[in-house]
């Protein structure tokens, strides 16, 4: 039996994780859950999964949950704040952490769990983008098992020979095993066929209505700008130890081929499935065994079109910014991620236009000091400075 901490249990990935866990009570026991502010859902999750500890974002939220749990007759330790997130992910009783907090807030609890050698199921790509080398060395030094949950990386993991990202740090490993490149697929999002002029007018509601996937608001906007793919290129670089020239991106509107690996002998191996995150979640939870994910099968008895096309970088410059940050190295990915988090939040709050997300990230990235210490303190400082810089630019743009 595996003992699980779900960081971000009230989000899209968190809820899907608990659905897979619910179907396998003999395999999984929930030890801790965390949420930012959704007290109602967290209370329901406490009643069903009986964790020993839960964490909320604020003292006020924690007090309100405590009251609710008292009425429900449940005994659960309720804590709040960033330190408590680390406590939840590093409990001795926890052996597996689903990292499904959105954004940089997920970094510390995830990296600390990795240092302690827990199995990490990584959905929170921002943590790896902002602190890739540090994160991978925590995984290596702690002897943690790192399993990618992001559907593309999970697909690649399944298509690689001898996949084991715990030694993703060993650069060149896959080249010596005949891997030529990896092909990340992208749906192209809701605005795949929009012109630049049309992109200027799109609303947060339109950006969050993804054609194939149901996801949280931040990643939905990232998918619409294709910054999601930029972040995923950096994520793939760290997970699989491949240089950016060996990481390609293709538009695949049907989201059935989740990604592919091309070998030097001409073979291309792809992983296919429904666009449903329960498949990669179940893969990570059950690994190395396969378990039922509760997902409808792909039906090959009816006609399917699987099409692929290149990305138009003039309409989706965020992908190019991802490659640029990876090539620049140092603190550039940290800055890219921080500026993007501020820009997406500002767009969702109607303070900037959709097309200004890329403009803002580009300006912050190009004006920032990218060299500097890439230890945890240096990363957190660069993250903070880039956010402040981005906030000032938002004020200028929305004035």
Give the binding site for ligand NAD (CB under 6 A). Answer: 8-14, 35-36, 38, 57, 100-102, 105, 123-126, 150, 213, 215-216, 218-219, 277
In the complex, minimum distance from the CB of residue 177 to ligand NAD, in angstroms, rounded to a whole number: 26
Q: What is the distance between the alpha carbons of residues 200 and 391, in angstroms, rounded to a whole number?
A: 20
Q: How many CB atoms lie within 10 A of CB 70?
A: 10
Interacting partner of 210 out of Mg ion, ligand NAD, none (Cβ under 5 to 8 A depending on kind): none
Relative to beta strand 2-7, strand 96-99 is parallel
Query: Shortest Cβ contact with Mg ion: which residue?
Result: 150
Q: What strands, in cross-sheet order, belong to the sheet with 179-186?
A: 247-251, 179-186, 257-263, 268-272
Interacting partner of 337 out of Mg ion, ligand NAD, none (Cβ under 5 to 8 A depending on kind): none
Which tokens is 110 given? 């995830």
Query: Shortest Cβ contact with ligand NAD: which residue?
Result: 11
Relative to beta strand 247-251, strand 146-148 is unpaired
Question: Nearer Cβ to ligand NAD, position 120 or 173?
Answer: 120
Question: Nearer Cβ to ligand NAD, position 173 or 234?
Answer: 234
Q: What is the distance between the alpha carbons of residues 236 and 348, in angstroms, rounded to a whole number?
A: 27
Question: Nearer Cβ to Mg ion, position 163 or 376?
Answer: 163
Is 150 near Mg ion (CB under 5 A)? Answer: yes
Residues in the chain: 399
Interacting partner of 126 out of ligand NAD, Mg ion, none (Cβ under 5 to 8 A depending on kind): ligand NAD
Interacting partner of 8 out of Mg ion, ligand NAD, none (Cβ under 5 to 8 A depending on kind): ligand NAD
DSSP line for 103-171: SGGGHHHHHHHHHTT-EEEE--HHHHHHTHHHHHHHHHHHT--EEE-SHHHHHHHHHSTT--GGGTTST
Is 235 near Mg ion (CB under 5 A)? Answer: no
Q: Please identify, among the stretches 142-150, 202-210, 267-275, 346-354, the one whose residues bind Mg ion according to the rule CB under 5 A.
A: 142-150
Interface residues with Mg ion (CB under 5 A)? 150-152
């Amino acid at each position: 039996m595996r003992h699980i901490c779900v960081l971000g249990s009230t989000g899209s990935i968190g809820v899907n994780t608990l659905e897979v866990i619910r179907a396998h009570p003999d395999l999984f026991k929930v030890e801790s859950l965390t949420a930012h502010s959704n007290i109602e859902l967290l209370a329901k999750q406490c009643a069903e999964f009986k964790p020993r500890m839960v964490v909320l974002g604020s003292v006020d939220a924690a007090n309100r949950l405590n009251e609710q749990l008292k009425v429900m007759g449940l005994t659960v330790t309720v804590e709040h704040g960033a330190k408590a997130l680390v406590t939840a992910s590093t409990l001795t009783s926890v052996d597996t952490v689903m990292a499904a907090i959105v954004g940089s807030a997920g970094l510390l609890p995830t990296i600390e769990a990795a240092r302690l050698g827990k199995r990490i199921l990584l959905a929170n790509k921002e943590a790896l983008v902002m602190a890739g080398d540090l994160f991978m060395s925590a995984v290596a030094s702690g002897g943690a098992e790192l399993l990618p949950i992001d559907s593309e990386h999970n697909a690649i993991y399944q298509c690689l020979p001898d996949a084991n990202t715990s030694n993703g740090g060993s650069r060149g490993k896959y080249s010596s095993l005949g891997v030529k490149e990896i092909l990340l697929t992208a749906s192209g999002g809701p605005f795949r066929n929009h012109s630049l002029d049309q992109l200027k007018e799109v609303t947060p509601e339109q950006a969050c209505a993804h054609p194939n996937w149901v996801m949280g608001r931040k990643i939905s906007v990232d998918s619409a700008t294709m910054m999601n793919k930029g972040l995923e290129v950096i994520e793939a670089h760290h997970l699989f130890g491949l240089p950016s020239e060996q990481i390609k991106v293709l538009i695949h509107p049907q989201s059935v081929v989740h990604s592919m690996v091309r070998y030097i002998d001409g073979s291309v191996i792809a992983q296919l499935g429904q666009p449903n995150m329960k498949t990669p979640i179940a893969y990570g939870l059950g690994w190395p065994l396969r378990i039922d994910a509760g997902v409808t099968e792909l039906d090959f008895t009816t006609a399917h079109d699987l099409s692929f096309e290149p990305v138009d970088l003039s309409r989706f410059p965020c992908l190019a910014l991802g490659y640029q940050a990876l090539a620049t190295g140092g603190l550039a990915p940290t800055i890219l991620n921080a500026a993007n988090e501020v820009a997406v939040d500002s767009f969702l709050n109607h303070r900037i236009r959709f097309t200004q997300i890329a403009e803002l990230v580009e300006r912050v990235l190009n004006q920032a000091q990218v060299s500097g210490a890439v230890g945890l303190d240096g990363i957190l400082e660069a993250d903070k400075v880039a956010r402040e810089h981005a906030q000032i630019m938002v004020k200028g743009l929305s004035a």
